[in-house]
Amino acid sequence: MSDVPDIHDVLDRRAVTTLFQPLVELTTGRVLGYEALSRGPAGSPWESPAALFAAARHFGREAELDWICRARAYRSALAAGLDPGLSWFVNMEPAASRMACPPDLAPGVESARDRLRVVTEMTERAIAVDPSGLLTAAAACRTAGWGVALDDVGADPMSLALMPFLHPDVVKLDMAMLHAPGDPHTARVVAAVAAYAEASGAIVLAEGIETEEHLAVARTMGATVGQGWHFGRPAPLPPAAGPTTSLPFIAPPRDDDRTPFTIVSARRPLARTTKAQLMPMSRHLEALAGDGGEPTVLLACFQDARHFTAATARRFGRIAVSSPLVAAIGSGLTDEPVPGVRGACLGDGDLLRGEWNVIVVGPHRAAALVAHDLGDDGPEGERRFDFALTHDRALVVEAARSLLHWLAPARTPELLPS
């Protein structure tokens, strides 16, 4: 009989350990915090976090494992009694936001909310899979006084387009960036991250710093915080830490129930025209999203499903192949009106029923056409709209974020016990 525990035994016993890797301020060498890295039982097939999560996912217990890993990390950090100004970076799997915290883990998580300065790490795939859920989880995180980090930026080009929606306090450059500083892809990633950090005040953190050369490259990429074997390998926490300083969090984005037209029209002048005149503008923005130059988010409101024509459906389907997120919202539309396209059905009294919006957000481009139906009868092409067109990136992202809330899941995500 084998002494190797099966995955259910590991999860039932909460048999997960946490190692920690320091996060260091590059200019001073001071430790700002630690990233928590989970491991299964030593010597077992589940010691590797990849194998551990793969097995849990296979049996439908990935969300539970994520809670276990986070609770274990919080408990270890609390027990160490280190400087309260330290930041604790802890990963969260998207699936965990759909599951309530197991009762036996709740006390430790609640203690962390009151006593630790946590930065919850999320990935771009969480945004694409459940945009509304991720925004809700990020908001819950910030309500607790915690920060948000976007992990592995650059590993997948899609992350650049989705970055402004999460509005992370910390952007973690994937370690591959340091190993290919001359690659055109690296240059595009670094430029997009630098633009976001400059506009928002976010911290840029370089992962995988192993040598002095990597450290020098990280600085040229705008990183002010680093992580990697050059500063320390994953290990138990030290009994004491040297001088520390707190990693700053940025101002959270506004979270409200306004519509894109309301948001943009409050800050841009309106003009009045017909649907026939608006169509070329709408098609132009769709073309921007589908030109293949960079991964781009496309969000559109069609008022009614009849306006989401077969030709439009084909265009959106083609764009979705290379886009991290394409959505079509309107009365009578299904959750997936075209393969790869997210959908949302509007109710009779929904404010969006009166709007025609096309919003495009990419790493280096942003544009929004917002229009409000004046309610005319008569020929379709002569229907009149008040409209505004903007390329102001901050304003476009604000309008786009408001639409993500219509792509709502059935259940409110849970980041912390209530």
101-108: average pLDDT: 94
Q: Are 279 and 368 in a shared domain?
A: yes
Q: Are 166 and 296 in a shared domain?
A: no
Q: Are 18 and 146 in a shared domain?
A: yes
Q: Are 346 and 203 in a shared domain?
A: no
Which range marks the domain in which residue 292 is found?
260-404
Q: Are 347 and 210 in a shared domain?
A: no
CA distance 383 to 274: 5
pLDDT digits (tens, 9 = 90+) for 229-279: 999 999 999 987 666 778 999 998 877 689 999 999 999 999 999 999 999
Q: Are 284 and 395 in a shared domain?
A: yes
Residue of 42, 88, 110, 98 whose CA lies nearest to 66: 98
Q: Is residue 411 included in any domain, yes or no?
A: no
Please report which confidence band the pLDDT of residue 3 belongs to, taking 50, 70 and 90 as the band edges. low
| CATH number for the domain harbouring residue 264 | 3.30.870
The pair of structure tokens assigned to 181 is 């500083």
Q: Are 160 and 210 in a shared domain?
A: yes
Q: Is residue 85 included in any domain, yes or no?
A: yes
pLDDT digits (tens, 9 = 90+) for 271-324: 999 999 999 999 999 999 988 778 899 999 999 999 999 999 999 999 999 888
At residue 141, the pLDDT reads 87
Q: Is residue 253 included in any domain, yes or no?
A: no
At residue 324, the pLDDT reads 85
Whether 408 and 135 have beta carbons less than 8 Å apart is answered as no
Residue that terminates a domain, selected from 226, 252, 269: 226
Q: Are 352 and 394 in a shared domain?
A: yes
At residue 161, the pLDDT reads 83
Q: Rounded to the nearest 10 degrees, how much is the dihedral formed by the CA atoms of 230, 233, 237, 240?
A: -20
Tally the domains of the chain: 2
For tokens 């994937």, the residue is 174
* Distance (Å) of CA 302 to CA 107, 149, 165, 318, 322: 46, 33, 22, 18, 22
Listed in sequence order, the DSSP H helices in 91-210 are: 106-115, 124-129, 131-143, 158-166, 176-179, 184-200
Whether 153 and 171 have beta carbons less than 8 Å apart is answered as yes
Q: Are 209 and 350 in a shared domain?
A: no
Determine which of 213-222, 384-393, 402-411 has the lowest per-residue pLDDT on average. 402-411
Q: Is residue 53 included in any domain, yes or no?
A: yes
Residue that terminates a domain, selected from 226, 251, 273: 226
Q: Are 179 and 287 in a shared domain?
A: no
At residue 241, the pLDDT reads 64
Q: Is residue 274 included in any domain, yes or no?
A: yes
Q: Are 53 and 134 in a shared domain?
A: yes
Q: Is residue 413 included in any domain, yes or no?
A: no
Q: Are 184 and 57 in a shared domain?
A: yes
| CATH number for the domain harbouring residue 83 | 3.20.20.450
Q: Is residue 1 included in any domain, yes or no?
A: no
pTM assigned to the model: 0.87
pLDDT at 411 over 50: no
Quick one: CA dihedral 325, 331, 336, 338, positive or negative? Answer: negative
At residue 125, the pLDDT reads 65
Residue that terminates a domain, selected from 226, 246, 280: 226
